[in-house]
Amino acid sequence: METKIVKLGINGEGIGYVQKKPVFIPGALPEEVVEFRIVNKQPRYLEGKLERVKKKSPYRIRPVCPHQGRCDGCPLMVLNESEQRKLKQENFVQTMQKYANISEKVMEPMIDNPNPFAYRNQCKLPVVMEKGKIVNAMYMQNSNFTVPIRTCYVQEVGLEKMRQAILDVLNAYHLSAYDHAKKKGIRYLVIRGLDDQYQCTLVTGEDYFPESLSEDLMKIKGLKSLYQSIQTTKNTPNIFGKKMIHLAGAKTIEFHLDDIVMRLSVQSFFQLNTKQAKTMYRLVKEMVPMNCDWILEGYSGIGGISLYLKDHAKEITGVEYIESAVRNANENAKRNHADHVHFVAGDAAEVMTRMLKKRTPDVIIVDPPRAGLDDAMMETLLRSKAKQIIYISCNPSTLAKNLAVLQDRYLVKRMVLLDMFSQTQHVESITLLIKKK
């Protein structure tokens, strides 16, 4: 079959139409005429597999990565970067207009990613066997199957070197990839690197490793912290298991963001693009007035945003449900001499609802996961008397849905888009909302 691609879908696929029904075709780009085969027929849409590009997009480029097209990681790598940003911005504008009726006038052009490649400071990659050795893999598009990868071009160069060095040591010990039947072997390699200090977690079955393995791994230059996490649950979205063992080195790694010094532990979330995280924090700082009494931040992770704002308020409170992240955040406040900044563990909606009943902050900041704000949080924000809300989002669909409701009481004043995840379909944004009179 043949179709003309008219639009980029939210998962980075091309969208065409066949007898008025949308067909989603991964790998096809807007403006292209493509031949495809139907692989999934649904009442309201079709899914196609790209067979041949008959008319190429002028923006199509040859991808640098040999795994592109099979690996699920970077669907937009076949598109030149300025066109990636243009299409992501257009999709963002359309989503905001369609679902929340927000004027394009408040939306600013997407800020470039200074490193469109080699920007990720962390990896969580499955481990598979290839020719008797363990290698990393990535999931294939829409499936649980994996494709072995050599180099990942969106990961920082130092991270890639560290990953290879770790694999070399694991292979010198003739270790194997995870075997569900035996509950033994290496399942994932999780590595994070900030300021050239690396933390590695081997996610494994019920394996005991010789002391010398940890010693040999810790000889790798830059590796500062080593953990093992035992995860034997089948088909779980959680990479880490409940049992986390500190094998060697420091428990946390330390890094700097502008003039803030931070530490984080294995289970804590941190932004995966360090440079763009700083850009984002600086933008939030620019949006928040000086001389506030109280700022309340939900989904605060290890506390970066609140600490950037430390000179803007007499008191700042962050709420986060991962306890180790809350511990990191409170220690980070001390480390930065911010005794007026505190972090509390718990569900953001629950804790913030309770707090807001007693007291009104000048500014509320939220940075929820992809699912966006839940009903309880929406209810609380709608009732709040805060003059200003800043909503940081990594998912335009849930953002638009939430803003459509928040606009009852708050005016969308400014939206800044950030290219944080180049080569992928993801869009990060910061929305400034002002309380209506």
The two tokens of residue 60 are 């199509």
Give me the amino acid identity at 182. Answer: K
* Burial class (CB within 10 angstroms; exposed 0-12, middle 13-18, buried 19+) of 297: buried
Q: In angstroms, rounded to a whole number, what is the distance separating the alpha carbons of residues 76 and 303?
A: 32
Q: Which residues pair with 296 in a beta bridge?
A: 317, 364
Task: Supply the DSSP symbol for 220.
Answer: S
- Distances 414 to 42, 276, 431 between C-alpha atoms, Å: 39, 19, 6
Q: In angstroms, rounded to a whole number, what is the distance separating the alpha carbons of residues 220 and 124?
A: 19
Give first-to-last CA distance, the chain, whole Å. Answer: 56
Instruction: Select 362 or 367, whichever has its Cβ closest to ligand SAH.
Output: 367
The two tokens of residue 176 are 């194997």
Instruction: Select 195 or 347, whichever has its Cβ closest to ligand SAH.
Output: 347
Q: Which residue in the shown chain puts its C-beta closest to ligand SAH?
A: 301
Residues that bind ligand SAH (CB under 6 A): 269-271, 299-301, 304-305, 319-322, 325, 347-348, 367, 369
* Rounded to 5°, angle at Cα 320 from 314 and 323: 115
* Burial class (CB within 10 angstroms; exposed 0-12, middle 13-18, buried 19+) of 303: buried
Q: Least CB distance from residue 350 to ligand SAH, whole Å? A: 8
Q: In angstroms, rounded to a whole number, what is the distance separating the alpha carbons of residues 270 and 100?
A: 29
Question: Of these residues, 65, 152, 200, 394, which one is catalytic?
Answer: 394
Instruction: Select 114 or 369, whichever has its Cβ closest to ligand SAH.
Output: 369
Q: Least CB distance from residue 323 to ligand SAH, whole Å? A: 10
Q: Which residues pair with 393 in a beta bridge?
A: 429
Q: Least CB distance from residue 39 to ligand SAH, whole Å? A: 34
User: Dihedral, CA atoms, 35, 37, 40, 44, nearest 10 degrees?
Assistant: 40
The two tokens of residue 351 are 């804790």
Q: Least CB distance from residue 282 to ligand SAH, whole Å? A: 12
123 annotated active-site? no
Instruction: Select 127 or 430, whichever has its Cβ closest to ligand SAH.
Output: 430
Q: Are 369 and 301 in contact (CB under 8 A)?
A: no
Q: Least CB distance from residue 117 to ligand SAH, whole Å? A: 23
Instruction: Select 169 or 284, whichever has its Cβ closest to ligand SAH.
Output: 284
CA-based nearest residue to 152, from 143, 141, 142, 163: 163
Instruction: Select 26 or 301, whichever has its Cβ closest to ligand SAH.
Output: 301
Q: Least CB distance from residue 60 to ligand SAH, whole Å? A: 34
Instruction: Select 141 or 300, whichever has its Cβ closest to ligand SAH.
Output: 300
Q: Least CB distance from residue 47 to ligand SAH, whole Å? A: 31
Q: Supply the residues annotated as catalytic.
A: 394
